[in-house]
Structure 1
Amino acid sequence: MISCIVNASKIQVSKEKFIMAVFTHSSGQHLLVDDAEIYFEVTGNPAGKPLLLLHGGMGNITDFNGIVDKFASQFKLIGIDFRGHGKSTLGTSRLTYQQYQADVEAVLAHLDIDSFSILGFSDGGNTALRLAVETPSRIKALVAVAAQSHLDVDDPVFSMLSGVTADFWKTMFPDSVAYYKENNPEPDFEALLKAVVSLWTDIEHSAYPGEAIERITAPTLLVRGDEDHLCSLECVVELRNKIKNAAFLNIPYAGHEAYKDSPILFTEAVNDFLANRLA
């Protein structure tokens, strides 16, 4: 990439070094948090500003491999597998967004990272919202994709999520299940799915951030795929109205995984957002 920097009467042209980056599930480390082994990897620019990537439910850090190259030159990228996901073990604690938050904070403390930006998708976005509420001074910028502040029991999505079974998931996503069984140190797919469904349908304080999102002060970009059947337009508009100075990107023709469905538009918008907020 060639960037032009205009300064008074002269133009300086500089070449930005392109850094290849990928999450491999072979180059990271485990950190013991309570009785769970939390797996994480660090890639990208070692001298860059920290950018934390948090994946969605039943996913893992490799889900971001289609876009990480677009951020690798500018950022030190930290990918964390949530409890039970990817190469992290499940442990015995109940899965909640509060627990995810605690695990993330433990990894960041281990890496001695005090301030950072976040790109979180779905469950990762919900966890990112909690982090932005609870530790506002640490968050430099927040990109939340398909994130929600709450889920009501009368929401059609609630009944949809509460009815998800292991057999359904195996039928719909056989490659994902096979990858999990091959890579997780202590694979128990049925136990993981049950724990994640419980997390999705937990409407107590330890789950979604709720009205506390009004306390978020970090520059925030909310992203939604226009055809997302799990995160409604109304939910994201509510977030935008309650988070001060939040920006909103609704990506046409994209579904729940908008960052995968429209990677070029997504990465260009996010890079522009981060460049303007972190300058």
Structure 2
Amino acid sequence: MKYIKFLSILFFLNYFTSYAQDSGIYQTVSIEKYAGKNFTIEGKIYYTTELAYGSYGVLGVSFYDTKGKIINKIIYNDDAEDYYKKGEWSNYELSGKINKNAKYIGVMAAFGGNASYYLDDFKLFVKEGKNKIEIPLVNPGFEINSLQNWQTYSKDKETKFTLSKDQVFSGKQALLVDNSTVKPLPTLGNNQALGKYMEVNGVKLYYEIYGKGEPLLMLHGNNSSMAIFNRQLDALSKKYMVIGLDSRGQGKSTSDDTKITYEVMAEDVNTFIDKMNLKNVNILGWSDGGNIAVILGIDHADKINKMAVMGTVLYNDDTSVVPGTNKILRAQLKEMDDRGLSKNSMNYRLKMLLLTEPHINPDSLRKIKAPTLVMAGEHDIVTENHTKLIAEKIPNSKLVIFKGSTHSAPQEIPELFNKTVLRFFDQKN
């Protein structure tokens, strides 16, 4: 048991750093007999301040093999906003399937930013047939006067983990994770010194600029932010004026009641380009950002110098995405409905966007004048045939499929990805 505990500490440190969680707490539990079964973890979180971008709490889970090595990535709640309740305890829940090779499961709560949170009443359930079995956690409600069996993590020495009777969901005490004196380091997407807003089509778009040279606009994926390009920024900003932009309703950008479509977001970017007085813009678009870039290239061809798109789709059907993708999306939407999540919430609207759009005619790609690098992972959720279709329809395009990688190639293989993108942008027309 000491072996798995030691290894879990090492792997949690690595993965917390990779996924930008600033602090957290976790416990590992033997789960081998339930491998392949469905699980649910529950936990109560009380916010001492209002939910804000960069300051949030989520539940997470990880799996370990017999040697204590982490299997795949940590799974987190999609969006803290779905669970957050102002001024009261927020009921968090995270469900999924236990990896078939898992011997241990890591149950965790992770936090970002400089707010403070109370935690209480963690529970782990496994579904076996029609039965819902509770797997005991040690000290799940923090009633023992120590953090027995819980491990803590923090990037900042100012973070304090203390047992408290000030705010309790049940029992006599809860755990307080106090980040109130933490001074967050400036990062892509959360840099107070560089961050600015621009009013565009009734919303405020948040952006940051790094480096000098030709403009290179980075457009992120669904329900994300410019921060997802954290492994591209240093390499790209050495040669280009990199502009990170949060799409409407995502990151730090605001939204309104306008139905979100890729055309709406593309027009946001077009207006942003005009207001910034940018000429001959280079664009790096990942996932939804690639969809937006393609629409820009079609409708505003004269404004684009070059485009590099990763994991892009023209439409959503069984030929464009791998089997099971839409089944998962529909299940996620049903789960949101079952929880009573408002259809006006941004997370719901963005999930619907993935399921129902885009609607780009392949033949319209012939209008794109900009040289275009079309990329995807070998194991991308976008089918290889669909990626090849995009490359075939764009007049001046180059196709790259990253072997062994997935839809997350910019994060998985940043060195190769950056080298590929820079070689393309640096090449003279």
- Which residue does 2:401 correspond to in 1? 250
Q: Residues 119 and 143 of structure 1 are in contact (CA less than 8 Å); yes or no, is this contact kept in structure 2?
A: yes
**1:153/1:251 CA distance change after superposition, 3 Å:** closer
Give the distance between the partners of 1:262 and 1:190, measured in 2 at CA: 36
**Relative contact order (C-alpha < 8 Å, sep 6+): which is higher?**
1
**1:105/1:232 CA distance change after superposition, 3 Å:** same
Measured against aligned partners, the alpha-carbon deviations of 1:25-65 in whole angstroms (never above 9, x if no partner) come to 422111222332211111122xx000010000011011111
Measured against aligned partners, the alpha-carbon deviations of 1:87-131 in whole angstroms (never above 9, x if no partner) come to 011211111001111111122122111320100000000000000
- Which residue does 2:365 correspond to in 1? 213
Q: Residues 315 and 357 of structure 2 are in contact (CA less than 8 Å); yes or no, is this contact kept in structure 1?
A: yes
**What amino acid is the match of 2:206?**
Y
Q: Residues 22 and 43 of structure 1 are in contact (CA less than 8 Å); yes or no, is this contact kept in structure 2?
A: no
Give the distance between the partners of 2:363 and 2:397, measured in 1 at CA: 15
Give the distance between the partners of 1:78 and 1:166, measured in 2 at CA: 36
Secondary structure at 2:268 match in 1:
helix
Secondary structure at 1:84 match in 2:
coil
**1:167/1:70 CA distance change after superposition, 3 Å:** farther
Tell me whether 1:165 sits opposite 2:330 in the alignment.
Answer: no
**1:22/1:87 CA distance change after superposition, 3 Å:** closer
Deviation of 1:189 after TM superposition, in Å, equals: 10
Query: What are structure 1's unaligned runs of at least 5 residues?
Result: 1-20, 169-187
- Which residue does 1:41 correspond to in 2? 208
Give the distance between the partners of 1:35 and 1:138, measured in 2 at CA: 22
Q: What is the 5 A alignment of 1:47-58?
A: 48-58=213-223
Q: Answer 1 or 2: which has greater helix percent.
A: 1
- Which residue does 1:202 correspond to in 2? 356
Deviation of 1:192 after TM superposition, in Å, equals: 0.9
User: Residue 281 of structure 2 is aligned with which of 112, 116, 126?
Assistant: 116
Give the distance between the partners of 1:111 and 1:163, measured in 2 at CA: 41
Tell me whether 1:223 sits opposite 2:375 in the alignment.
Answer: yes
Deviation of 1:163 after TM superposition, in Å, equals: 3.4
* TM-score, structure 2 as length reference: 0.51
**What amino acid is the match of 1:138?**
K
Q: Residues 150 and 210 of structure 1 are in contact (CA less than 8 Å); yes or no, is this contact kept in structure 2?
A: no
**1:37/1:221 CA distance change after superposition, 3 Å:** same
Give the distance between the partners of 1:274 and 1:102, measured in 2 at CA: 24
Secondary structure at 2:317 match in 1:
coil
Give the distance between the partners of 2:225 and 2:361, measured in 1 at CA: 22
**1:30/1:121 CA distance change after superposition, 3 Å:** same
Query: What are structure 2's unaligned runs of at least 5 residues?
Result: 1-186, 337-341
**What amino acid is the match of 1:43?**
Y
- Which residue does 2:190 correspond to in 1? 24
Tell me whether 1:103 sits opposite 2:268 in the alignment.
Answer: yes
Secondary structure at 2:375 match in 1:
strand
Secondary structure at 1:95 match in 2:
coil
Give the distance between the partners of 2:203 and 2:302, measured in 1 at CA: 28
Give the distance between the partners of 1:189 and 1:66, measured in 2 at CA: 33
Secondary structure at 1:37 match in 2:
strand
Max radius of gyration: which structure?
Answer: 2
CA-based RMSD? 2.4
- Which residue does 1:239 correspond to in 2? 390
User: Residue 139 of structure 1 is aligned with which of 288, 304, 313?
Assistant: 304
Measured against aligned partners, the alpha-carbon deviations of 1:177-211 in whole angstroms (never above 9, x if no partner) come to xxxxxxxxxxx99711111122223347xx44543
**1:153/1:233 CA distance change after superposition, 3 Å:** closer
Measured against aligned partners, the alpha-carbon deviations of 1:4-36 in whole angstroms (never above 9, x if no partner) come to xxxxxxxxxxxxxxxxx9443422111222332
Q: Answer 1 or 2: which has greater strand percent.
A: 2
**What amino acid is the match of 1:255?**
T
Q: Residues 120 and 144 of structure 1 are in contact (CA less than 8 Å); yes or no, is this contact kept in structure 2?
A: yes
Give the distance between the partners of 1:275 and 1:58, measured in 2 at CA: 30
Deviation of 1:83 after TM superposition, in Å, equals: 1.0
- Which residue does 1:181 correspond to in 2? none
Deviation of 1:162 after TM superposition, in Å, equals: 3.6
Sequence identity of aligned pairs in percent? Answer: 26
**1:121/1:141 CA distance change after superposition, 3 Å:** same
- Which residue does 2:3 correspond to in 1? none
Give the distance between the partners of 1:131 and 1:262, measured in 2 at CA: 27
Q: How many residues align?
A: 235
